A and B are shown apart, each in its own frame.
Chain A
Amino acid sequence: MEKYAVIGKRVPRIDGKEKVLGQAKYAADYALPGMLWCKVARSPLPHARILNIDTSRAEALPGVKAVITAKDFGGWTWGFMATTRDEPPLATGKVRYLYEAVAAVAAIDEDIAEEASDLIKVDYEELPGVFDPEEAIKEGAPVIHAYRPNNVSVEYHWNFGAVEKAFARSHIVREDRFETGKVVTGFLEPPASLAYYDPSGSITVWPAKQSPYFHYRHLAACFNLPLNRVRVIQPFIGGGFGGTKNDSVAGDFCVVMLSKKTGKPVKYIYAMDEVLTTCRRRHNMVLYNKMGMTKDGILTAVETRVIANGGAYTAIGPLTMYLAGSGNTLPFKLPNFKYDAWRAFTNNPVSAAMRGHGFTHTRFACDTQMGMMAEELGIDPVEIRMRNAIENPKPGEEYRTVNGIGIKTCGLKEAMETAAEDTLWADRDKGPKRAGPVSYGVGISGTSYQGGARQLGHQSCGAIVRICEDGTVNLLTGATDCGQGSDTVLSMIAAEELGVRYEDVSVKRVDTAYTPVDPGSYGSRVTLLAGQATQLAARDAKNQLLEAGARAWKVKPEDIEIRNGSVTMKTSPDKRVSFEKLAKIACYEGSGAVVLGRGHSAYGLEAIDFNAGTGNGGTSYSFTAQTVRLGVDMETGKVDVTDFFIAHDAGVPLHPVSVESQNQGGAVQGLSQTIYEQFIMEKGRTHNMTLLDYKMPRSTDVPDIKVTDIITDDPDGPFGAKEASEGSIVSTPPAVVNALRDATGVWFKELPVTPEKIVKALKEKGKWLK
């Protein structure tokens, strides 16, 4: 008999049918009778003092029901930490980036709301702005926040081991400047929220949130209500990828305030140009990276100096800067490590989390630099990674990095070997290197990502498993499936643990009035932590069923076995009853019973220290080896990426379809920020503010992608699972840059590597084809 009845099977997604029928409802699809429409008035300047706001003409427009400004929020601000709550729902006293929200209106239709928002007259005193992060932290730069007169929003200085001594003893030391791009998360569903503030003092909202419980806490704080009077009902979510939908944004607060003022439901749907100019984006980082090696290519030390473009507010920046540094000690053995990081306030839209949070920047720099040094030392790119890779610890043992990250399983070496054996890499010298103007290249990378992000108890996940009398199951979790497939995986976990069929488990969207609190979808944590909560809840329910069965059949609970919807006695295996029968016995026993299992995540917590840089922020860590084949047109600089091979250690893939799909999607997103996407910015202005101009990859722009699972069976994951959602967005940029080097002879250190940059570099090298 196979080990698992459900886990590891290619079951159809639990939400597949609703989605292909067009029946899955997203925030913008909800409406209520008497609903008003909200529009937000935005600042035409990137940095200015607000002298006066005149809303009288907007208020006088027929059809307008309310207008709000900062004063309605009474100075309330929010942010990631108590010391960094610097962002108001509507600009207060000052605007700090172009198109920052200044006022909002509610009207009977969208056109009137739009017209009214244009009638709001704001007098500004323009202030000099600062847009470049390195300029922003220089003496004398315009000050963006009075509480941070040096424009440094976050600053860390960590030092592990003895970096200087190690460099002095190294055979070679290299220093390079790298830069990561200005990119958007790129969800297709613009944020939207429908809100109703019941005059008796409670809020109900249907918002597009991948972390609905953050929003629930924000609304409770902003409107000074107890949590049990804030009800967030989760629609389907049209992609998240971190940042905007993990946090609250201006419109989210405005709809609730406008509903409070009017007594009517209020709805707001962001337009895509508002998304591209005002929503959270990935940090753009400048990285000065110094790496030392022995003559055998063994890493001796890394010193990384990062200056990040933080934009106008802090948001989740302290975590971004922590992760960028913390992840630098993976996936290679690194005895000495120094990290100095500054997150600068600038008059740009706010930078925040995005898939591959933090890790993607420093892994791009370090993996690329390792490739450069391998070349200098004449060591094969696979070999150098194998020599430095963290070994897979023996069962029961753990590897600790110099900054305290604990690794219990590491599939990097196996992944590198697998990638090296695949034909893409193994046959790389067999095909033509050149065809007409096109030069071909193959590249490789080896990276890691943190899964199961956990800090303290407020980040715990809960689950409730309810057994229905007919043997079907309701799974209630606070976890949010924003597309990654977690509702499917959690249902599989519940089914496996209980011994019921997958199709007998039903899971509904989050409703904060009923589902247990959960931090949400970020940090590749849902399968691990909501998964563990689900497993424990299912186990609890199962124990109740076994006890009821034992009483009815006069056997011991441990004599009863449940698998795939049927119940057998170990003592007489030919006797078999249905799970439904057992459920009925348990529910109807005596005067009746309620069979509810409950669980919460409990993988050991290890506090992380942002200022010291120590800690173990993940439950476990995934490892990825990736190869890439591409062609570069040496005349136009156009890049055609044809193949990806990804060997990914996700512990045990619980739902292989989702693991593959996450790897594929992450890799394409990673490819896009390596060669396609970037905001064109000038003095805080986003020039490409529609999807016509901000280009995301289409079906014709992406390679064929093969994904292979490396099985390491981690002890700290339900059924051995580790993360699968973010590893490939970290592995792709260095692998692509490595392949570009192979094709062109140029190491590109600044993302995205556009055709213009390629042509410029080829010209400098005298390799450009006219």
Chain B
Amino acid sequence: MKPLSITVNGKDYELQVKASATLLEILREDLGLTGTKEGCSVGECGACTVLMDGQAVNACLILAAEAGDKEVTTIEGLADNQQLNPIQEAFVEIGGLQCGFCTPAMILSAKALLDKTPNPTDEEIRKGLEGNFCRCTGYTKIIESVKAAAHKMRG
């Protein structure tokens, strides 16, 4: 076990973790932040996407130790005291979700995209979400949700 200092959703934690522990494991098991999902465990499905210093990453591929001095944001850190972030709002309004298993990750990938590209084209949205599988929606309403969120965020 090794000591680890980590900042998640603006809170600092001091943990003891196995050297082999992934960021995904400590988020889910040690911090109880189960909004981050485990799908394929090989960095393909994107269900475990979190933001690390604003970059969307697959938490299953990141060793906890690598996240040590980074700012990590999970889905639990997006809303402000149950007040939905505009991306979350758009996903609810448009219906950009079905089973919801990919949704937290999809929203975080959308956030990483919109933070860099506030007015994306459809192609840029598709590209920005390319790392996140959704088996339910066929992506149509997800793309519409991201467009609507971009519109909201530009005010």
Given A188-B45, A188-B133, A21 contacting B99 (CB threshold 8 A): no
Q: Is B126 interfacial (CB 8 A cutoff)?
A: yes
Interface-forming stretch among A226-234, A302-310, A479-487?
A: A479-487
B residues 37-53 near A (Cβ < 8 Å) are 37-45, 47
A188: which of B78, B101, B126 is its contact (CB, 8 Å)? B101
Given A189-B39, A272-B42, A692-B44, A17 contacting B99 (CB threshold 8 A): no
Interface string of A1-32 (1 = CB under 8 A from B): 00000000010110111111111111011000
Interface string of A637-660 (1 = CB under 8 A from B): 000000000000000000001101
Q: Is B19 interfacial (CB 8 A cutoff)?
A: no
Interface string of B97-137 (1 = CB under 8 A from A): 11111111001000000000000000001110111111111
Given A241-B135, A691-B133, A700-B127, A21 contacting B35 (CB threshold 8 A): yes
Residues B36 and A696 in contact, CB atoms below 8 Å apart? no
**A186 closest partner in B (C-beta):** B135
A residues 474-495 near B (Cβ < 8 Å) are 482-485
The smallest beta-carbon distance between B108 and chain A, in angstroms, is: 10
Q: Is A351 interfacial (CB 8 A cutoff)?
A: no
Residues B129 and A699 in contact, CB atoms below 8 Å apart? yes
Docked CA distance A130–B140 (Å): 42
Docked CA distance A660–B142 (Å): 12
Q: Is A239 interfacial (CB 8 A cutoff)?
A: yes
Docked CA distance A238–B131 (Å): 18
Residues B35 and A705 in contact, CB atoms below 8 Å apart? no
**A707 closest partner in B (C-beta):** B140
Docked CA distance A660–B96 (Å): 11
Q: Is A242 interfacial (CB 8 A cutoff)?
A: no
Chain A residues near B74 (CB-CB < 8 A): 22
The smallest beta-carbon distance between B2 and chain A, in angstroms, is: 16
Residues A692 and B93 in contact, CB atoms below 8 Å apart? no
Chain B residues near A269 (CB-CB < 8 A): 38
Residues B84 and A17 in contact, CB atoms below 8 Å apart? yes
Interface size on B, residues (CB 8 A): 55
Docked CA distance A17–B100 (Å): 10
Chain A residues touching B, majority SS: loop
Residues A13 and B101 in contact, CB atoms below 8 Å apart? no
Residues A22 and B98 in contact, CB atoms below 8 Å apart? no
Residues B88 and A705 in contact, CB atoms below 8 Å apart? no
Q: Is A618 interfacial (CB 8 A cutoff)?
A: no
Residues A26 and B93 in contact, CB atoms below 8 Å apart? no
**A26 closest partner in B (C-beta):** B101
Q: Is A190 interfacial (CB 8 A cutoff)?
A: yes
The smallest beta-carbon distance between B141 and chain A, in angstroms, is: 5
B100: which of A12, A238, A668 is its contact (CB, 8 Å)? A238
**A21 closest partner in B (C-beta):** B79
Given A657-B95, A699-B126, A236 contacting B140 (CB threshold 8 A): no
**A272 closest partner in B (C-beta):** B40
Docked CA distance A702–B34 (Å): 30
Docked CA distance A700–B127 (Å): 6
**B91 closest partner in A (C-beta):** A20
Docked CA distance A240–B41 (Å): 19
Chain B residues near A696 (CB-CB < 8 A): 133, 135
Chain B residues near A15 (CB-CB < 8 A): 100
Q: Is A698 interfacial (CB 8 A cutoff)?
A: yes
Residues A21 and B88 in contact, CB atoms below 8 Å apart? yes
**B74 closest partner in A (C-beta):** A22
Residues B98 and A485 in contact, CB atoms below 8 Å apart? yes
Docked CA distance A158–B18 (Å): 62
Q: Is B57 interfacial (CB 8 A cutoff)?
A: no
Q: Is B153 interfacial (CB 8 A cutoff)?
A: no
Residues A22 and B39 in contact, CB atoms below 8 Å apart? no
Chain B residues near A300 (CB-CB < 8 A): none
Docked CA distance A666–B103 (Å): 18
Residues B143 and A699 in contact, CB atoms below 8 Å apart? yes
Size bin of chain A's contact surface: 35 or more
B76: which of A22, A190, A241, A667 is its contact (CB, 8 Å)? A22
Chain B residues near A704 (CB-CB < 8 A): 140
Docked CA distance A20–B142 (Å): 12
Docked CA distance A16–B87 (Å): 12
Q: Could you say which of B34, B76, B107, B130 has the most chain A C-beta atoms within 10 Å of its C-beta?
A: B34
A residues 170-220 near B (Cβ < 8 Å) are 186-190
Chain A residues near B82 (CB-CB < 8 A): 21
Residues B37 and A238 in contact, CB atoms below 8 Å apart? yes
Docked CA distance A275–B18 (Å): 27
B42: which of A16, A660, A692 is its contact (CB, 8 Å)? A692
Residues B34 and A19 in contact, CB atoms below 8 Å apart? no
B84: which of A20, A484, A658 is its contact (CB, 8 Å)? A20
Chain B residues near A22 (CB-CB < 8 A): 33-36, 74-76, 103-104
**B143 closest partner in A (C-beta):** A699
Chain B residues near A661 (CB-CB < 8 A): 95, 98, 136-138, 140-141
Docked CA distance A237–B39 (Å): 13
Q: Is A326 interfacial (CB 8 A cutoff)?
A: no
Q: Is A564 interfacial (CB 8 A cutoff)?
A: no
Given A12-B95, A22-B74, A700 contacting B130 (CB threshold 8 A): yes
Q: Is A53 interfacial (CB 8 A cutoff)?
A: no
The smallest beta-carbon distance between A442 and chain B, in angstroms, is: 20
The smallest beta-carbon distance between B63 and chain A, in angstroms, is: 16
Residues B101 and A238 in contact, CB atoms below 8 Å apart? yes
Residues A239 and B92 in contact, CB atoms below 8 Å apart? no
Residues A698 and B133 in contact, CB atoms below 8 Å apart? yes
Interface string of A645-686 (1 = CB under 8 A from B): 000000000000110110011111100000000000000000
Docked CA distance A698–B134 (Å): 7
A16: which of B92, B130, B133 is its contact (CB, 8 Å)? B92
A271: which of B41, B84, B107 is its contact (CB, 8 Å)? B41
Chain B residues near A667 (CB-CB < 8 A): 138
Residues B103 and A20 in contact, CB atoms below 8 Å apart? yes
Chain A residues near B131 (CB-CB < 8 A): 698
Docked CA distance A385–B82 (Å): 52
Given A21-B88, A22-B104, A690-B42, A239 contacting B136 (CB threshold 8 A): yes
Chain A residues near B75 (CB-CB < 8 A): 20-22
Docked CA distance A700–B123 (Å): 8
Residues B76 and A13 in contact, CB atoms below 8 Å apart? no
Chain A residues near B132 (CB-CB < 8 A): 698-699
Residues B97 and A19 in contact, CB atoms below 8 Å apart? yes
Residues B84 and A483 in contact, CB atoms below 8 Å apart? no
Chain A residues near B137 (CB-CB < 8 A): 661, 664-665
Residues A13 and B35 in contact, CB atoms below 8 Å apart? no
Q: Could you say which of B38, B99, B141 has the most chain A C-beta atoms within 10 Å of its C-beta?
A: B99
Docked CA distance A15–B107 (Å): 16
Chain B residues near A10 (CB-CB < 8 A): 95
Residues B37 and A16 in contact, CB atoms below 8 Å apart? no
Chain B residues near A13 (CB-CB < 8 A): 92, 95, 97
Chain B residues near A239 (CB-CB < 8 A): 98-99, 101, 135-136
The smallest beta-carbon distance between B77 and chain A, in angstroms, is: 9
Contacts A238-B37, A238-B101, A657-B95 given; 5 further ones with Cβ under 8 A?
A16-B97, A28-B38, A664-B139, A691-B39, A698-B132
- Measured CB to CB, the residues of A under 8 A from B are 10, 12-13, 15-26, 28-29, 186-190, 236-241, 269, 271-272, 482-485, 657-658, 660-661, 664-669, 690-692, 696, 698-700, 702, 704-705
What are 14 A-B residue pairs whose CB atoms fall within 8 Å in the complex?
A: A12-B95, A20-B104, A22-B36, A26-B101, A187-B135, A189-B37, A237-B99, A241-B135, A272-B40, A272-B42, A664-B141, A690-B44, A698-B130, A699-B143
Which 8 A-B pairs give the minimum distances between C-beta atoms? Answer: A22-B35, A483-B99, A238-B101, A19-B100, A22-B75, A664-B138, A668-B138, A483-B98
- Measured CB to CB, the residues of B under 8 A from A are 28, 33-45, 47, 74-76, 78-79, 82, 84, 88, 91-95, 97-104, 107, 125-127, 129-143
